[in-house]
Chains A and B, each alone.
Chain A
Amino acid sequence: MTTAAPVSRPTGAAAWSVPSRFALLLLALAAVLAFYPLYGEALFPGQHDYFLQKLTAIMILAMLAMSLDLLVGIGGMVSLGHAAFFGLGGYALALLGPEYEAANLWTTLPMTLGAVGLAALVIGALSIRTGGIYFIMITLAFGQMFYYVFNDAAFAGGSDGTYIYVRPAVAVFGVALIDLGDAVTFFYVVFAAMMGTYVFLRVLLASPFGKVLRGIGINPQRVRGVGYNPDAYKLVAFVIGAMLAGLAGYLSAAQFGFVNPSMMSWHHSGTVLVMVILGGLGTLHGAILGAFALEILHAVIEARTEHWLLVLGGLIIVMVLTLPKGIAGLLERITAPRANRARTGHEDRGES
């Protein structure tokens, strides 16, 4: 090393790890989504309201998927009980707010996040020490425990669930800032929450904490050997992921006006896991893409055949088999500059 080669280091932009053309595509997709309330009526007369509601619901699921990606794709913790925190967030809104008036968002949201965080801290502390298949089993067990507790709880409406008659109010000194009861306003609030979650998780991954967490997902023993206790970092990630899931659940409950135990079921956890894997594990934007892809495919196929579950299942198998890096990986490859494309493809093969 006699030649003083300048050390090339990641600049701020490079640390974001999203290739520029791919980033532009993602931005374009986000714009198509963001402007939907403006062109929806013209494009889909008659179905606009339904689509608006559907897109809002998908964005909430995308938040849930991103929060699970933090655990599964980054931290290497495959959880089958993640929906429990989603349901808990919804139930928290239903139970904390007054029955026939609007709940105050400024009090109920922090209380919801606090309650979900506390639950995650306890569950996480009990399950994080296990790894691999045992972690899957123990999170599944906790998830089902929550499901049956709420299924049998009279105060929460049992298996029928309970209603939230009025969406939460966002007011300062008694003056309503925005009206969550308005579908378009609610759409934009959820859009902002989804983008905010994405940016928050991106910042988190670029932080020292994020670097350690990614290392743990790849090789926890090596991370321990360097001087970090993986369990502590996994627990913090587990709590953060759960609180984001709780936020999604809170919004979901606010949107539909009711909560029921199926929000917490392991089917739901599994569906969200499929979204994350389909979209591309560990990428965050993949979780959003996966949520949209799965939900839109679901809606389209369901409208055409009563055997939609069979067709959808087959499609998922084909996609998982042909897209090892998910939809995000596919889009990234397509948008890669021509010169890099061959090389990128080669590296893909080299890694698998």
Chain B
Amino acid sequence: MKTVAKADIRRMQHASKPAPAVAEPVMRVEGLTKSFGGLTAVAHVDLIVNAGEAHAVIGPNGAGKSTLVNLLTGHLKPSAGHIHFGGRDIAGLPAHKVARLGIGRSYQKTNVFAPLTVWENVWLTGQTALPHAMRFLRPAHTLKAVRERVEEALELVGLTDRAHTPAAAMSHGEQRQLELAMVLATKPRFLALDEPMAGMGPEESEKVVELLLELRKTYPVLLVEHDMDAVFSIAHTLTVMVNGRVLESGPVDQVRESKAVQEAYLGEGDEEY
């Protein structure tokens, strides 16, 4: 309930940022915990992402951010806790079922099909327009609904004219863009992006920030990111994690001014980078 109250404050403080009139939680995480043997990577994390909102998760390395994304998307099974999404508790569902419910994710480490072309990569994800792909005789390229998704996704990230380049032959930055196109082609209802700008040059980063500013109008976004400038320009709300726990959560400016956060993370962070 604490977080909801903070969201209310945020709406008053941030009239300039487009946010929905009424906070409508799209994803509500309660007490999410993941232990690997004796190590607790994520401990009792509560989190709310509202409709029309971009929520960033930041924290030093090893804070449990990627583990959190893996839990939310079914790539890891939580040890305890709930993830409410789309009217049900999705905690513990396998990744393919979570994806089908509309949570699209990108990966921290570039995770594309290297031998396939850009077009084929995005096609594979866009094919989720079909309820399943157990169709054996119809040539895939004749499926118009899929083709439109692929074209749209490539257009959005600006890779249209690279469609026939093998993913392996592209620059790191382009592969990151491809990664985003692959997520978008699934027509998700929620985006979980794990460091979409990792390893990008400043110019490429700027393009992705622009894209994310555009995407947050359409999709609720959970963004894990190290680039603080990017986080502050994109996110409406912010959660700071340290050692698997939520240190502070709320509207960006409020979290930014929090003493605890500045001591634990932001201050040092600025020097480090």
Interface residues of A (CB under 8 A from B): 1, 5, 7-12, 15, 203-204, 206-212, 214-215, 218-219, 221-230, 232-233, 236, 347, 350-351
A229→B146 CA distance, assembly (Å): 19
Determine if B128 and A226 form an interchain contact, defined as CB atoms under 8 angstroms apart: yes
- Asked whether A225 lies within 8 Å of B75 as measured between CB atoms, the reply is yes
Q: How far is the CA of A224 from the CA of B116 in the complex (A)?
A: 17
**How far is it, in angstroms, between the C-alpha of A226 and the C-alpha of B75 when the chains are bound?**
11
Q: How far is the CA of A204 from the CA of B140 in the complex (A)?
A: 10
Q: Which residues of B contact A222 (CB under 8 A)?
A: 107, 111-113
- Tell me the minimal C-beta distance from A224 to chain B in angstroms: 5
Nearest Cβ in chain B — how far from A148, in angstroms? 34
B81: chain A residues within 8 A (beta carbon) = none
A208/B160 contact (C-beta < 8 A), A224-B95, A225-B105, A226-B128 known: no
Other-chain residue from B94, B120, B138 in contact with A208 (beta carbon distance below 8 A) = B138
Interface membership of B228, Cβ < 8 A: no
A227 to B185, CA, bound (A): 12
Known pairs A12-B139, A207-B138, A221-B75; list 12 more (Cβ under 8 Å): A10-B119, A15-B140, A206-B141, A207-B137, A208-B143, A208-B146, A211-B124, A212-B124, A222-B111, A225-B95, A225-B111, A229-B94
Residue contact B160 to A1, C-beta cutoff 8 Å: yes
Interface residue from B139, B140, B163 paired with A7 (Cβ < 8 Å): B163
Is A5 in contact with B139, judged by CB distance below 8 angstroms? Answer: no
**8 pairs from A and B in contact (CB 8 Å cutoff):** A15-B141, A204-B136, A206-B141, A209-B135, A212-B124, A225-B73, A225-B105, A225-B107
| Interface SS majority for chain A | helix
Question: Is B134 engaged at the interface, CB distance under 8 Å to the other chain?
Answer: yes
Residues from chain A with a CB closer than 8 A to the CB of B96 are 224-230
State whether A226 touches B133 (Cβ < 8 A): no
- Select the residue from B105, B136, B146 with max chain A CB neighbours within 10 A: B136
CB distance from B180 to the nearest CB of A (A): 13
In chain B, residues 124-164, which have Cβ atoms closer than 8 Å to a Cβ of chain A? 124-125, 127-128, 130, 132-141, 143, 146-147, 151, 154-155, 158, 160-161, 163-164
Pairwise interchain contact A210-B125, C-beta atoms closer than 8 A: no
Distance from A324 Cβ to chain B, minimum over Cβ atoms (Å)? 13
Hey, which bits of chain B sit against chain A, CB under 8 A? 73, 75, 94-97, 99-100, 105, 107, 111-116, 119-120, 123-125, 127-128, 130, 132-141, 143, 146-147, 151, 154-155, 158, 160-161, 163-164, 166, 168-169, 182, 186
Q: How far is the CB of B136 from chain A (nearest CB, A)?
A: 5
List residues of chain B with CB within 8 A of the CB of A8: 163-164
Closest to A15 in B: B141
Residue of A nearest to B183 (CB): A226
Closest to B156 in A: A1
- Among the listed A11, A211, A350, which residue makes an inter-chain contact with B168, where contact means beta carbons less than 8 Å apart? A350
Considering residues B111, B123, B141, which has the most beta carbons from chain A within 10 angstroms of its beta carbon?
Answer: B141
Alpha-carbon separation in the docked complex, A7 to B166 (Å): 16
Bound complex: CA of A206 vs CA of B123, how far in Å? 12
Least CB distance, A192 to chain B, in whole angstroms: 19
Nearest Cβ in chain A — how far from B102, in angstroms? 9
Q: How far is the CA of A9 from the CA of B107 in the complex (A)?
A: 27
In the complex, chain A residues whose CB is within 8 Å of the CB of B113: 215, 218-219, 222
Q: Which residues of the partner chain A approach B127 to less than 8 Å between Cβ atoms?
A: 208, 211-212
The residues of B that contact A5 with a CB separation of less than 8 Å are 160-161
* Whole-angstrom CA separation of A207 from B107 in the bound complex: 27
Residues in chain A near residue B94, CB distance under 8 A: 224, 229
Complex: how many Å from CA A206 to CA B97? 25
B147 touches A9 (CB 8 A): yes
- Per the bound structure, the CA–CA distance linking A223 and B100 in Å amounts to 12
Closest 4 CB pairs of A and B: A227-B99, A208-B133, A227-B100, A212-B133
Instruction: Give bound CA distance, A208 to B138, whole Å.
Output: 7
Shortest Cβ distance from B125 into A: residue: A226
Contact A233 B133 (CB under 8 A): yes
Q: Which residue of B lies closest to A223 (CB)?
A: B124
A9 in contact with B139 (CB, 8 Å): no
List B contacts of A221 (CB < 8 A).
Answer: 75, 95, 111
- The reply to whether A347 and B169 form a contact with Cβ atoms under 8 Å apart is yes
Q: How far is the CA of A214 from the CA of B120 in the complex (A)?
A: 10
Known contacts A9-B163, A225-B105; is A214 also within 8 Å of B116 by CB? yes
Structural contact, B99 and A226, CB atoms closer than 8 A: yes
Docked complex Cα distance between A206 and B99 (Å): 24
* Contact B119 A218, beta carbon cutoff 8 Å: no
Contacts of A207 in B (CB 8 A): 135-140
Chain B residues whose CB sits within 8 angstroms of the CB of A218 once the complex forms: 113-116
Whether B186 lies near A227 (C-beta < 8 A) is: yes
Assembled-state Cα–Cα distance A8/B116 (Å): 16
CB-contact partner of B151 in A7, A215, A224, A236, under 8 A: A7
In the assembled complex, the CB of A205 is this many whole angstroms from the nearest CB of chain B, namely 9
Report the minimum CB–CB distance from A76 to chain B (whole Å). 12
Interface contact B120-A1, CB-CB below 8 Å: no
Please state if A9 and B128 are interface contacts (CB–CB under 8 Å): no
In the assembled complex, how far is the CB of residue A258 from the closest CB belonging to chain B, in whole angstroms? 34
Residues of A within 8 A of B107 (CB): 222, 225
Q: Give A10 to B117 CA distance when docked, in angstroms.
A: 11
User: How far apart are the CA atoms of A236 and B99 in the complex, in Å?
Assistant: 21
With CB as the reference atom, state the residue of chain B lying closest to A229.
B96
Provide the residues of chain A in CB contact with B95, threshold 8 Å: 221, 224-225
Closest CB in chain A relative to B123 CB, distance in Å: 6
- A-side contacts of B151, CB under 8 Å: 7, 9
Question: What's the nearest-Cβ distance from chain B to residue A207, in Å?
Answer: 5
